[in-house]
Amino acid sequence: MMGGKPLSLILLLAFSIFASHSNSLPLSTNNRWIIDETGKRVKLHCVNWSSHLNAMVAEGLEIKPLKDLIAQLKELGFDCVRYTWATHMFTRYSNYKVGENLDKLNLTSSRLGIGNFNPSLENITVVEAFDFVIDEFGKQGMMVLVDNHVSDPKWCCHNKDGNGFFGDQYSDPKEWLQGLSNVANRVKGKSQVHIKHYLFFFYKKCKKLISRLIFLG
């Protein structure tokens, strides 16, 4: 996190899914396509926003108010965000306060910046901050794709960091399922998380599969 990088670098990864634009919600999928309620393909212009690293809070909140950052994304033509999270953030560290965690990481300038630009986040937990950001997306009419990016909240991935997938040091199938369940339950009432029901579907399917693998193993 948070070494004073400009927003253009923090939000470097942007992607678009090309199809015809529509606002008929809810969204769903048909094979590989995202479609609206009428069955028409939907065009999304999405940007990546990291929240899965050591600080466990959205990047950039130490340099601008959250509402201004999201407004800037809208001005640039984006209508959705891939918002990342780490499994352990919800299964092991959910009681960590944003400010206290920044202190533990010696991110003094980031702590001061958040206190200045987003003071309401300092004394809430990292998962409450996660919710807070999603809620602001909703207030400004942006869609959210919640992305389970890694297990342990840190940068990945290479062959020796233990933070990839099943069989790696930080990967536990049961804990992974618990993380999916926790996040799915947190976002299920938030209309801006338009693909939220796939978390529930994915969780149920994976739970059955992993239960079989554990039984066979």
Q: If you write DSSP's letter for every residue of 110-171 in order, what string do you get? A: HHHHHHHH-GGGTTSBHHHHHHHHHHHHHHTT-EEEEEEEESSSS---STTSS-SSTTSTT-
pLDDT at 182: 93
pLDDT in tens, 72-96: 999 999 989 999 999 999 999 999 9
2 lies in some domain: no
pLDDT surpasses 60 at 22: no
| Segments forming the whole domain that contains residue 89 | 7-216
Helix orientation angle between 197-216 and 173-187, rounded to the nearest 10 degrees: 160
27 pLDDT tier (thresholds 50, 70, 90): confident
Q: What is the average per-residue pLDDT within 101-125? A: 97
Residue 121 inside a domain? The answer is yes
| pLDDT recorded at residue 216 | 44
User: Which one-letter amino acid corresponds to residue 211?
Assistant: S
Distance between CA atoms of 186 and 85, rounded to whole angstroms? 13
What is the pLDDT averaged over residues 185-193?
Answer: 84
What's the structural domain count of the chain?
Answer: 1
Tens of pLDDT, residue by residue over 203-213, are: 555 555 555 54
Residue 105 lies in a domain: yes
Per-residue pLDDT for 7 more than 50? no
Could you give the percent of the chain with pLDDT greater than 90? 47
Q: To the nearest whole number, what is the mean pLDDT of the chain?
A: 81
Q: Is this structure's pTM higher than 0.85?
A: no
* Domain contains 1: no
CA dist., res. 86 & res. 121, Å (int): 19
Rounded to an integer, the average pLDDT of 92-121 is: 97
